[in-house]
Structure 1
Amino acid sequence: MFELLRIVVRGVAAATLACVGAMLLATLVPVAFGWDSQVVLTGSMRPRIAPGDLVVSAPVAPERVRPGQVVVVEDPARPGTLLVHRVVRRNADGTLTTKGDANSTEDLPAVSATGVRGLARLRVPKMGLPALWLREGRTLPVLGAFAALIALGRLARTTGTRPRHAAERGGGHRTSGVRATRVATQRTRPAPR
Structure 2
Amino acid sequence: MISLRWLRVRGPSMVPALYDGDTALVRMGVDPRPGEVVLVRWAARPGQLSVKRAVRRQDDGWWVLGDNSFGSTDSRQLGPAEVLGVLRWRISPRPGRIR
Tell me the distance in 2 between the aligned counterparts of 1:109 and 1:55.
25
- Which runs of 5 or more residues in structure 2 are unaligned? 95-99
Shift of residue 78, structure 1, vs aligned partner: 2.4
Shift of residue 74, structure 1, vs aligned partner: 1.2
- Residue correspondences, number: 89
Greater percentage in strand:
2
Q: CA RMSD in A?
A: 2.3
**What do the CA deviations read for 1:64-117 (whole angstroms, capped 9, x no partner)?**
3221011111134422121110011112x1410000000157522211xxx322
Shift of residue 118, structure 1, vs aligned partner: 0.9
Runs of 4+ in 1 over 3 A off after TM superposition: none
**What do the CA deviations read for 1:26-56 (whole angstroms, capped 9, x no partner)?**
xxxxxxx931111111010001100000121
**Aligned 1:1-193 pairs, distance under 5 A:** 34-61=3-30, 64-91=31-58, 93-103=59-69, 106-107=74-75, 108-111=78-81, 115-126=82-93
Which of structures 1 and 2 has the bigger CA Rg? 1
User: Aligned partner of 2:25: which letter?
Assistant: V
Task: Report the TM-score when normalising by structure 2.
Answer: 0.75
Greater RCO structure (CA 8 Å; 6+ sep) = 2
- Which runs of 5 or more residues in structure 1 are unaligned? 1-32, 128-193
Tell me the distance in 1 between the aligned counterparts of 2:67 and 2:44.
18
Greater percentage in helix:
1
% identical aligned pairs: 34
Task: Report the TM-score when normalising by structure 1.
Answer: 0.41
Tell me the distance in 1 between the aligned counterparts of 2:43 and 2:20.
21
Secondary structure in structure 1 of the residue aligned to 2:54: strand
